[in-house]
Amino acid sequence: MISTIHPIPAFSDNYIWAVSETGSNNVCVVDPGDATPVIQYLNANHLVLSDILITHHHPDHTGGIAELTRRYPARVTGPKPSAITGITDYVAEGNLVELFGHSFSVIEVPGHTLDHIAFYCADTELDKPILFCGDTLFAAGCGRLFEGTPIMMQESLSKLAALDPSTNVYCTHEYTLANLKFALAAEPDNLALQRRNQAEASKREANLPTLPSSVELELATNPFLRCTQQTVIRSAYAQLGRDPKNEVEVFSALRAWKDTF
């Protein structure tokens, strides 16, 4: 069983999620871009690294693999095909990853990168379903399109938006306040968004993470999941200077706007 999921801060705004097993000192980390804070966390809590999950090839998600696997005999599960060194278990859409007695299903979510995957666990013995989604879905935002196309990213986000609304969403960056600033520009009249902005600002003032988020909260406040809403379509119209032809054009206009926001 999983007992806790703890954020280990890394670099300026990454979180490396540490998943602990009930009744043992085994830990799994997700996207360890830097080994040093992970080793400090394991040593301080007398824990042993048994597993690493990798969502995509960017160095701020993979940079710690070599040092961590030199110190611990950890299984490293990640996407195929991929340029990542050190993966022991390659996975693709629909594969199941067994972790501490739970099954995580692999969801392919290309867009930010072409190799990007997410890990989802809907086990009913958990308090809530769990999603590790790397740089695809962020709190009130989404990842930049470094390798994929807008239609690819929108299909990927749709897969995540269709998960159980109560799912806890563990993204890998503390980008929430900047994303909310943009979301409010795209949807100034969204009351749920205004409330969320206040709540998340209070957390950051208290130096608390704004994560995990939930699918339900993202559906209500994340403009990139709300491309069929009239307010979001109006914002896309203002960016394009004409009516967007379809939902993908709305998404694409929002993403281009956010890139220069």
Site residues (vs Zn ion, CB under 5 A): 58, 135
Q: Which is nearer to Zn ion, 176 or 235 (CB)?
A: 176
Distance CA 186, CA 198 (A): 17
- 58/102 with CB nearer Zn ion: 58
Give the Å distances, CA to CA, from 253 to 7, 147, 153, 224, 242: 33, 17, 13, 10, 11
Minimum distance from CB of 61 to Zn ion (Å)?
A: 6
Nearest distance in Å: CB 117, Zn ion: 12
Which residues, other chains included, contact 81 with Cβ-Cβ below 8 Å and sequence gap of 6+? Answer: 115
Output the smallest distance, CB 171 to Zn ion, in A.
11
Burial track 210-236 (b if 16+ CB lie within 10 A, e otherwise): bbbbbbebbebbbbbbbbeeeebbebb
Minimum separation from the CB atom of position 172 to Zn ion (A)? 8
With tokens 């995957």, the residue in question is 117
Looking at the Cβ atoms of 173 and 226, the one nearer to Zn ion is 173
Residue 34, phi then psi, degrees to nearest 5:
-140, 130
| Cβ nearer to Zn ion, comparing 146 with 261 | 146
**What Cα–Cα distance (Å) separates residue 201 from each residue in 60, 176, 194?**
25, 9, 11
Of residues 135 and 249, the one with the C-beta less far from Zn ion: 135
CA distance 246 to 75: 43
Least separation in angstroms between CB 58 and Zn ion: 4
- Nearer Cβ to Zn ion (58/196): 58
CB nearer Zn ion, residue 205 or residue 259 = 259
Give residue 209's Cα distance to chain centre: 14
CB of residue 79 vs Zn ion: minimum separation in angstroms?
12
Q: Which residues contact 82 (CB under 8 A, 6 or more apart)?
A: 56, 57, 90, 115
Measured CA to CA, the distance from residue 193 to residue 203 in angstroms comes to: 15
CB of 173 to Zn ion, least distance (A): 9
